[in-house]
């Protein structure tokens, strides 16, 4: 094999082809040593062996992706990215379709390996909005398929319970266009039963843990897993797995792939139906004929299922408890026993889930498949179950191991073919390799006439009594002499005693070892029957998705033809898979589980040795080492080892092959150890390669010493020259610096001398100037005293007695004049809200200043009033009137200050319903509002429309918009209100009024302050008298049946909608206000 430094480690070689000596023990020891170093990947040629570390390692960072991008496969340490890069570049650059086969037993890391391959291809391919969308859809298919196809087993917390093959399609530039997914053999028996310590499929636990309460209620589910029989009524907790978060991840992935919200809901509904079917319980009963029958014990679960899928409960109950049998032209309805009923229930659940899984795969394919017809390149990724040997092996293990036999066959044949093609291509003599050809085992299983699967199908179709014993007897008869088949009967015939082979079992000698299969359940699992009544019941449901899963249930398309058996379907799928793999260039990843406890970095040699045998790794190494263990292109080989021969070191000017021949000729290796191909050098044994590598390491050490010696000499010479140059430079700079400092010192001395000279001259001039200024000051003082003396003498000559009064008056009027002029210049703003005024500059002007302030403020107010429009002036007059009436008297008044008095609150002109009321007002309307009239008998209130005009007060019915009471303003003798913040008022009428003897009115208004104010203004304008207003908590009202005393009480029991009036006898009323 090709190899470089990362692979040539004598203690733990990176390529097992170079292992010497080659034994099972040395192979496992090498894997263990590399595993201890956290090197979980190892090569066998171009095959990658991956050992699951059960912990996260820093091997998959973006930096690692870049390291293995466009790398030489054998120039870097073994890594899964290397084989992914090699496959991708072969597809992109050489136009060769590729397939990556990932095998290994459960828990070995196959699913993670497939995701790593896909993520690497997504990372190294081109970028772009459409390309990124395709990549995201391809990657997001994993969470959906893992949720519905993976489960916890005793060996693996995320075990794939189905085989998956994905074809990723690329265009000519290597950009992903889409893909197609194929699934194989979903373990649907897990739906109805699983062993203790395992779990059912992840989706059930994710749905219960992650769905919202509303969604669970819609699906008729409870969050506790212990409520469901198919979950073994056990807790769902699983360390290290967040089912709720995984559920949301799965939902997001479905949205990215392109599932509509309706499709997602339908999928979850079908999942809930499968889960709830496990809770349908059957009980035994006996008919009048004495035959046993079964019936539904608790119909509640059945009704909820039928409500979910839109099916009549009677239809589903009949399908679960009875069966329609057609004999010639007759149809007979037979009842089922309880075991038969449970078999039908479980068969229905398994079929629904299996078909739902197939539908999901097809729906994902619809989204990710390539829509265009352009030429495409394909990379296939096969993630399929490995060889399985359990304590009790059944039908599932039989067909899984059959698939692994086929994969081993293609692996050996393709590996030998690749080896032979390379030898022929390089012109090297090909020596046939002896290896175990497992075609005889494949033929034993798949032969169309005498194979085990053919016998199983024949037994399933045979009329009469059919069971596993008749099937085993037929195998014993036909395969008695086959050297890879044995059973208890064949051993007895050969007089062989083997207590490890129990009765009702047979054993096959697979390439990976002997496996004993128990035939119990083979017939049932191969038939995979579903009663036609159940198919027809599902087709009758109104649930679109569920109905589409059972097309055979259509009564118009009834077919008496038996469906193909499970074994036949799987054999056809494997044949199609093999044909697909043969058409592509294979790449292999062999996954190994290091321990059974899923512990991080724990290596169990016995367990790994068993897997080495299952995977046929020793056979693989022997095939790769059949001729020459190591081969490499001449150019890299010469570049690596040219220092071993003086003729090729340090540079070889000839061809690479000639240089390699000259190089090896000087090393005296035996001729049989070497072969020279057209483009590569071949070395037979790893020992020769390691000898070559050891000589290279010794020569590299010698060359390193020489390089160090030359380098140290060069460094010392360079350092000396640098120091000499630095010394010359420092000396030059120092001399220049010293001369500069000397010049600066001379310059400073000259400046100091100049400064002293200029200072002496300036001080002399200053003394002269000071002397001259003193003389001038003395002369000025003498002149001033002389002029003062003359003025005083003249003043005394002309002095009179009234001179002081005149001077005082002059000063007074001068101060007044200054004050008034200053006031005129500093008048405050003309805003009526501004009460500022300049203070008096002298105390004798305080009274004058206050009078001027008052005069100026009144003038400002008059000027403001003259500018007001009539409507605003009227509104302010009303506000002023309200202030005079209620300020500091009623608690409600401060709240009304910010509310403008609108007057008209009903919209009489806009509402045609109020035309009659508008006619009553006759353009004399003052206020229109809605009030509540208190019933004098019960205290309850009724709504009324109040219209106040310049002559009348009108109360009208709001429904009919007709006046009920019209009062003249002259009929009003007073108004009473409370002192609280309520809208209660009493309208007192004169004993003789235009409305007769109706008595006083009790009203509740939301605009009490405005109503009383406008009534006061209108009353005063109409009668020339002020309206009597009483603000009190107790007052008396006159009713037709006598006077009533009203008491107003502030109480928290009063409603927020207004006062509450309560009659206390015939002559008392209590009003509760808030």
What are the catalytic residues?
106-107, 111, 156, 159-160, 386, 388
Q: Helix, strand, or coil here: 976? A: strand
Q: Could you tell me if 334 and 344 are in contact, meaning their C-beta atoms sit under 8 angstroms apart? A: no
The torsion defined by the Cα of 781, 785, 788 and 789, in degrees rounded to 10, comes to: -170
Q: Please, which residues bridge with residue 48 across strands?
A: 43, 589
Helix (H, G, I), strand (E, B) or coil at 159: strand
* 1004 Cβ contact list (under 8 Å, min separation 6): 931, 932, 934, 941, 982, 983, 984, 985, 1058, 1059
**All residues at 6 or more sequence positions from 111 whose CB lies less than 8 Å from its CB, including other chains:** 142, 146, 150, 158, 160, 383
CB atoms within 10 A of CB 171: 17
Strand order in the sheet with 505-510: 485-487, 505-510, 513-518
199 and 404 Cβ atoms separated by less than 8 Å: no
| Residue 695 burial class via C-beta count within 10 angstroms: exposed 0-12, middle 13-18, buried 19 and up | middle
The total of other beta-carbon atoms located within 10 Å of residue 249's CB is 18
Q: For the stretch 980-1018, what's the b/e string if a residue is b when 16 or more beta carbons lie within 10 angstroms of its beta carbon?
A: bbbbbbbbbbeeebeeeeebbbbbbbebbbbbbbbbbbb
Q: How far apart are the first and last CA of the chain?
A: 99
How big is the chain by its Cα radius of gyration, in Å?
55
User: Which residues are CB-neighbours of 240 under 8 A, at least 6 positions away?
Assistant: 157
| 212: its two tokens | 């919202």
Chain centroid to CA 582: 41
How many CB atoms lie under 10 A from the CB of residue 12?
17
DSSP state of 642: G
Cα–Cα distance measured from residue 953 to residue 966, given in angstroms and rounded to the nearest whole number: 6
Whether 445 and 509 have beta carbons less than 8 Å apart is answered as no
> What H or E segment, with its residue span, contains residue 485?
strand 485-487
CA distance 265 to 739: 94
Q: Is 813 exposed, middle or buried (0-12, 13-18, 19+ CB in 10 A)?
A: exposed
Q: How many CA atoms lie within 13 A of 844 on its CB side?
A: 5
Give the contacts of 504 (CB within 8 A, at least 6 positions apart): 468, 469, 472, 518, 519, 520
CB 654 within 8 A of CB 458: no
Contact yes or no for 160/349 (Cβ under 8 A): no
Which string of DSSP letters, residue by residue, matches 287-331? -TTS-EEEEES-HHHHHHHHHHHT--HHHHHHHHHEEEEEETTEE
SS (H, E, C) 662-683: HHHHCCCCCHHHEEECCCEEEE
CB-based burial, 62-85: b 16+ in 10 Å, e otherwise: eeebeebeebebbebbbbbbbbbb
């Amino acid at each position: 094999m090709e190899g470089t430094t990362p692979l040539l480690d004598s203690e733990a070689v990176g390529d097992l082809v170079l292992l010497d000596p080659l034994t099972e023990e040395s192979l496992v020891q090498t894997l263990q040593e590399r595993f201890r170093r956290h090197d979980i990947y190892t090569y066998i040629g171009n095959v990658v062996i991956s050992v699951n570390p059960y912990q996260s390692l820093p091997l998959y960072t973006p930096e690692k992706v870049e390291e293995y991008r466009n790398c030489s496969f054998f120039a870097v340490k073994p890594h899964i990215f290397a084989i992914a890069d090699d496959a991708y570049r072969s597809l992109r650059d050489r136009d060769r379709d590729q397939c990556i086969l990932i095998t290994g037993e459960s828990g070995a890391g196959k699913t993670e390996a497939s995701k790593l391959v896909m993520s690497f291809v997504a990372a190294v391919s081109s970028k772009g909005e459409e390309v990124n969308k395709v990549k995201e859809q391809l990657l997001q298919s994993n969470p959906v398929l893992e949720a519905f196809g993976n489960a916890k087993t005793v060996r693996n917390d995320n075990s794939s319970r189905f085989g998956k093959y994905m074809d990723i399609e690329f265009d000519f530039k290597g950009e992903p266009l889409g893909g197609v997914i194929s699934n194989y053999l979903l373990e649907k028996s897990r739906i109805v039963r699983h062993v203790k310590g395992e779990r059912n499929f992840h989706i059930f636990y994710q749905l219960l843990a992650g769905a919202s309460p509303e969604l669970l209620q819609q699906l008729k589910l409870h969050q506790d897993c212990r409520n469901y029989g198919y979950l073994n009524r056990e807790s769902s907790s699983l360390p290290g797995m967040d089912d709720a978060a995984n559920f949301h991840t799965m939902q997001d992935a479905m949205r990215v792939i392109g599932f509509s919200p309706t499709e997602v809901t339908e999928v979850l509904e079908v999942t809930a139906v499968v889960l709830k079917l496990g809770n349908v319980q059957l009980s035994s009963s006996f008919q009048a004929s004495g035959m046993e029958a079964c019936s539904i014990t608790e119909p509640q679960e059945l009704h909820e299922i039928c409500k979910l899928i839109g099916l009549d409960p009677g239809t589903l109950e009949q399908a679960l408890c009875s069966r329609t049998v057609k004999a010639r032209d007759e149809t007979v309805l037979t009842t089922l026993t309880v075991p038969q009923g449970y078999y039908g229930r479980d068969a229905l659940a398994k079929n629904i889930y299996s078909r739902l899984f197939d539908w999901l795969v097809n729906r994902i394919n619809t989204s990710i498949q390539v829509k265009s017809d352009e030429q495409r390149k394909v990379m296939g990724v096969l993630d399929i179950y490995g060889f399985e040997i359990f304590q009790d092996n059944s039908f599932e293990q039989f067909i899984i191991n059959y698939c692994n036999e086929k994969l081993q066959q293609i692996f050996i044949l393709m590996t030998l073919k690749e080896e032979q093609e390379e030898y022929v291509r390089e012109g090297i003599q090909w020596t046939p390799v002896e290896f175990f050809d497992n075609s005889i085992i494949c033929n034993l299983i798949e032969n169309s006439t005498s194979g085990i699967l053919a016998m199983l199908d024949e037994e399933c179709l045979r009329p009469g009594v059919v069971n596993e014993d008749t099937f085993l007897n037929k195998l014993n008869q036909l395969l008695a002499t086959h050297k890879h088949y044995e059973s208890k009967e064949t051993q007895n015939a050969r007089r062989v005693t083997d207590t490890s082979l129990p009765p009702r079992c047979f054993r096959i000698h697979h390439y990976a070892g002997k496996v004993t299969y128990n035939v119990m359940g083979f017939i049932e699992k191969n038939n995979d029957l579903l009663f036609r009544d159940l198919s027809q019941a599902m087709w009758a449901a109104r649930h679109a998705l569920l109905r589409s899963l059972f097309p055979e249930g259509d009564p118009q398309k009834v077919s008496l033809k038996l469906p193909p058996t499970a074994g036949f379907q799987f054999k056809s799928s494997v044949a199609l898979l093999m044909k697909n793999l043969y058409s592509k260039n294979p790449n292999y990843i062999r996954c190994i589980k290091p321990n059974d406890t899923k512990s991080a970095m724990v290596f169990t040699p016995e367990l790994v040795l068993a897997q080495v045998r299952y995977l046929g790794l020793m056979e693989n190494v022997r095939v790769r080492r059949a001729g020459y263990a190591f081969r490499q292109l001449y150019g890299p080989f010469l570049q690596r080892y040219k220092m071993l021969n003086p003729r090729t070191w340090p540079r070889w000017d000839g061809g690479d092959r000639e240089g390699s021949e000259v190089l090896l000729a000087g090393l005296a290796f035996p001729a049989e150890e070497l072969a020279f191909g057209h483009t590569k050098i071949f070395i037979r044994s790893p020992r020769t390669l390691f000898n070559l590598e050891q000589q290279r390491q010794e020569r590299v050490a010698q060359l390193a010493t020489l390089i160090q010696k030359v380098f140290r000499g060069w460094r010392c010479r360079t350092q000396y020259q640098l120091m000499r140059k630095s010394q010359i430079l420092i000396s030059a700079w120092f001399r220049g610096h010293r001369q500069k400092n000397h010049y600066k010192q001379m310059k400073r001395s000259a400046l100091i001398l100049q400064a002293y000279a200029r200072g002496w001259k300036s001080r002399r001039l200053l003394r002269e100037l000071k002397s001259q200024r003193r003389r001038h000051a003395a002369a000025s003082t003498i002149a001033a005293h002389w002029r003062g003396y003359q003025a005083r003498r003249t003043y005394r000559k002309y002095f009179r007695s009234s001179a002081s009064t005149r001077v005082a008056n002059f000063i007074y009027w001068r101060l007044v004049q200054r004050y008034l002029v200053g006031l005129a210049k500093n008048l405050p703003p003309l805003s009526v809200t501004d009460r500022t005024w300049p203070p008096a500059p002298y105390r004798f002007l305080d009274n004058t200043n206050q009078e001027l302030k008052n005069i100026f403020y009144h003038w400002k107010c008059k000027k403001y009033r003259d500018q007001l429009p009539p409507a605003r002036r009227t509104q302010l007059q009303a506000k002023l009137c309200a202030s005079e009436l209620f300020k500091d008297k009623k608690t409600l008044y401060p709240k009304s200050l910010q509310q403008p008095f609108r007057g008209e609150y009903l919209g009489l002109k806009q509402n045609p319903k109020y035309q009659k009321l508008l006619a009553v007002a006759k353009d004399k309307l003052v206020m229109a509002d809605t009030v509540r009239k208190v019933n004098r008998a019960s205290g309850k209130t009724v709504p009324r429309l109040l219209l106040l005009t310049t002559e009348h007060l009108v109360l009208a019915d709001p429904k009919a918009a007709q006046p009920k009471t019209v009062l003249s303003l002259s009929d009003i003798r007073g108004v009473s209100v409370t002192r609280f913040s309520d809208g209660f008022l009493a309208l007192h009428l004169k004993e003789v009024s235009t409305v007769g003897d109706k008595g006083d009115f009790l009203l509740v208004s939301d605009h009490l302050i405005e109503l009383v104010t406008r009534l006061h203004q209108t009353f005063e304008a109409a009668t020339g008298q002020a309206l009597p207003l009483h603000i009190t908590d107790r007052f008396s009202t006159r009713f037709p049946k006598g006077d009533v005393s009203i008491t107003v009480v502030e109480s928290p029991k009063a409603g927020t909608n207004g006062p509450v009036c309560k009659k206390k006898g015939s002559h008392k009323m209590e009003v509760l206000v808030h």
